[in-house]
């Protein structure tokens, strides 16, 4: 019964691994969000989880069950929350979920947690959850609990970007359902991608402001914000390696 996944351990095995506070716990957080007609709705969960598994093996960490829902899809980064299938939480719920889970880990003895984010819109609600957890833990006298918050795409190096996007990098915001996520899914979960349904389209363009309520006509019909056509499993393998390597090496020193 030896696994990097907390949910696959018995409580005494888990207790033994975390009670002393030295083991890092990786918590993936994603979303249930449409990712175009060519892909399943769970890449924001599967991709950070796959990376967390590999990082955990590299650095002797554990992986918590991922949080499978996230904050509302925003039009200029995820197509918008009006899209069918996209199923989101209020910001308060995201922050409270993070806070509750972190406080439970702290009760078990865990003192080092890394949140591995796969859904851009979660970012500040993760920070809020972490802040609330640290504040309440301080009230309980726990002052040595520390948290790393990261989004996996921030570990894609400039060299890799040049290799993956030889025709020019459109920017992470319009990468929703595009080359990054589709390539990683082709490498890790090919049965969840159907490239014959990938739509060839130019990167979406938006005005320099957000508008509410959402104007559905701003979002390309596919729900993708750029073309997934140049995606490939080989690009996915490269992206996975560079992210896992980058996250592993940063986490080796982050908690010192």
Active site residues: 33, 35, 44, 119, 121, 176, 181
Q: In angstroms, what is the minimal distance from the CB of 50 to Zn ion?
A: 13
* Total site size for Zn ion, rule CB under 5 A: 1
- Nearest distance from C-beta of residue 78 to Zn ion, angstroms: 7
114/228 with CB nearer Zn ion: 228
**Minimum distance from residue 140 beta carbon to Zn ion (Å):** 36
Q: How far is the CB of 15 from Zn ion (least distance, A)?
A: 35
The smaller minimum CB distance to Zn ion, of residues 102 and 243, is found at: 243
Locate tokens 């056509």: which residue? 229
Contact 37, 195 (CB under 8 A): no
For residue 39, give every residue at least 6 positions away whose Cβ sits within 8 Å of its Cβ, in sequence order, or none.
Answer: 177, 181, 182, 185, 192, 193, 194, 228
The token pair at 12 is: 């005494």
Cβ contact 204:256 at 8 Å: no
* Cα 33 from Cα 98, distance rounded (Å): 19
Minimum distance, C-beta of residue 31 to Zn ion, in the bound complex (Å): 7
The 10 Å Cβ neighbour count of residue 140 is: 11
Q: Which of residues 27-46 bind Zn ion (CB under 5 A)?
A: 44
Q: Are strands 146-151 and 112-117 parallel, antiparallel or unpaired?
A: parallel
Residue nearest to Zn ion (CB): 44
Residues in contact with 8: Cβ distance below 8 Å, sequence separation at least 6, in sequence order: 1
Closer to Zn ion by CB, 44 or 53: give it. Answer: 44
- 3-state secondary structure (DSSP) of residue 89: strand
- Specify the residue, 23 or 117, whose C-beta has the smaller distance to Zn ion: 117
**Whose Cβ is closer to Zn ion: residue 172's or residue 255's?**
172
CB contact at 8 A, 185 and 36: no
Phi, psi of 132 (to 5 degrees): -65, -40
Tell me: does residue 175 bind Zn ion (CB under 5 A). no
Q: Which residues are near Zn ion by CB under 5 A?
A: 44
């Amino acid at each position: 019964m030896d696994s990097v996944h907390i949910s696959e351990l018995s409580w005494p095995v888990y207790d033994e691994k975390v009670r002393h506070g030295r083991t890092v716990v990786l918590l993936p957080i994603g979303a249930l969000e449409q990712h175009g007609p060519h892909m399943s709705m769970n890449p924001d969960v599967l991709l950070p989880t796959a990376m967390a598994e590999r990082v955990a093996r590299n650095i002797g960490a554990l992986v918590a069950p991922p949080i499978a829902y996230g904050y509302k899809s925003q039009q200029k980064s995820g197509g918008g929350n009006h899209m069918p299938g996209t199923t989101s939480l209020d910001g308060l719920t995201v922050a409270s979920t993070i806070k509750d889970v972190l406080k439970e880990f702290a009760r078990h003895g865990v003192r080092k947690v890394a949140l591995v984010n796969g859904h851009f819109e979660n970012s500040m609600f993760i920070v809020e959850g972490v802040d609330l957890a640290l504040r309440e833990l301080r009230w309980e006298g726990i002052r040595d609990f520390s948290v790393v918050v990261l989004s996996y795409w921030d570990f894609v190096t400039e060299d890799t970007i040049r290799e993956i996007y030889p025709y020019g990098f459109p920017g992470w915001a319009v990468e929703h359902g595009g080359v990054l996520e589709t390539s990683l899914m082709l490498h890790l979960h090919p049965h969840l991608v159907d490239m014959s349904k990938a739509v060839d389209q130019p990167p979406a363009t938006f005005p320099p402001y957000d508008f509410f309520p959402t104007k559905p006509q701003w979002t390309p019909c596919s729900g993708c914000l750029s073309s997934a056509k140049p995606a490939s499993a080989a690009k996915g393998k490269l992206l996975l390696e560079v992210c896992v390597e980058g996250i592993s090496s940063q986490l080796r020193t982050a908690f010192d």
